[in-house]
Amino acid sequence: ETLRHCSETPVLPAKPIIAAKYPFQVDLEAGKRYAWCACGHSKKQPFCDGSHKTAAPDISPVRFKLDEPKSVWLCGCKHTKSPPYCDGTHKEEFIQKAELPNQP
Ligand code: FES
């Protein structure tokens, strides 16, 4: 038997990158399907643009739909505990002190 399960190889937990140090306020429509970028690599923040397929294949976007139109804060730091929504995690030091190559 030549094929084996790679059970000895530890699976690295997929880690998102910080897309922004603040949440994104967006007006969402009722009944529309949205995909929130969970990996942080999308160029269309806070939404998924498919970048995760190459940049973070282990991470999938969070798809969601609202029953009524709503203005919401979607997480930009990608470390929220209640995705896709901001839970205030971006205020923590490990986010605010992080070096982000693409930030002004
Ligand atoms: S680009 Fe980040 S989840 Fe799709």
Count of structural domains within the chain: 1
Write out the E strands in 1-104: 24-28, 33-36, 62-65, 70-74
Q: Is residue 6 part of a domain?
A: no
Enclosing domain of residue 63: 24-94
Report the pLDDT value the prediction gives residue 8, as an integer from 0 to 100. Answer: 56
Q: Is residue 3 part of a domain?
A: no
Q: Is residue 16 part of a domain?
A: no
Q: Is residue 8 part of a domain?
A: no
How far is it, in rounded angstroms, from Cα 65 to Cα 89? 23
Please list the ranges in the chain whose pLDDT falls under 70: 1-13, 102-104
Ligand 1 interacting residues, C-beta cut-off 6 A? 37-39, 41-42, 48-52, 59, 61
pTM, entire model = 0.85
Q: Is residue 68 part of a domain?
A: yes
Residue minimizing CA distance to atom 4 of ligand 1: 48
| CB-based contact 64:25 (threshold 8 Å) | no
| CB-based contact 36:83 (threshold 8 Å) | yes
Q: Is residue 4 part of a domain?
A: no
The encoded tokens of residue 52 equal 């995760």
